[in-house]
Amino acid sequence: MKTLFLTVVAAVLLATSATAQDTSMLKAPKGAKAAIIVFEDLQCPQCSRAAPQVEKASATYKIPVVRHDFPLPKHDWSMNAALIARYFDQTSKDLGNQFRDYMFQNQTQINPDNLRRYADTFAGAHKMALPFVIDPQGKLAAMITEDKNLGQRIGLDHTPTIYIVSAKPGVKPVEVPSDLNQLYAMIDSALKQ
């Protein structure tokens, strides 16, 4: 009986680790030698600390950052902020990313009651006005759900989760440790392969 239990536990752990490590669907954008892929939550303090470092690495190596929204259920305004970021993405991806960075910069002052005021301030600074209802058909929420589903398929359990991906066939994406000390070395490695 004990042997059967241990066999079942080992099989479950093996299956779980195989699922968690299947990052084959993470790809560098067409034309890029490598990319930094980030799954982030706009209310996550670690994400706000990582974002400037990721942007600096992107500029240093001239490789793109591919951002995926992964709002965590424990955060009470992150999903709404992700919806607003997706709204700005419709104007331009750069504007959406500027909004994400603005959220990170102001994160400690934002709460569910004043999120819209921060979003309206950002929109006004870019000579835009937000509509009363951001996502009436649910299309933006569906995009966020796609990002979350992708994260869940690769076994994500925290934010930020950052990968370095190479455009070379057969090179697996590598997860960057949470302290980011190895970020540059990992990009160097991906570019050399």
Of 130 and 1, the one with more pLDDT: 130
pLDDT tens by residue, 103-121:
999 999 999 999 999 999 9
Least confident of 4-13, 87-96, 161-170: 4-13
Q: Across the chain, what does the average pLDDT equal?
A: 89
- Assign 106 to helix, strand or coil: helix
The per-residue pLDDT for range 13-71, each reduced to its tens digit, is 334 444 446 888 899 999 999 999 999 999 999 999 999 999 999 999 999 999 999 99
Pairing of strands 65-69, 174-175: unpaired
pLDDT for residue 12: 39
In percent, the amount of the chain with pLDDT more than 70 equals 89
Question: Residue 181 falls within a domain, yes or no?
Answer: no
pLDDT in tens, 10-22: 333 334 444 446 8
Distance CA 99, CA 85 (A): 6
Structural domain for 54, as ranges: 42-160
Structural domain includes residue 183: no
At a CB cut-off of 8 Å and minimum separation 6, what does 30 contact? none
Q: Residue 59: inside a domain, yes or no?
A: yes
> What domain count does the chain have?
1
Residue 93 lies in a domain: yes
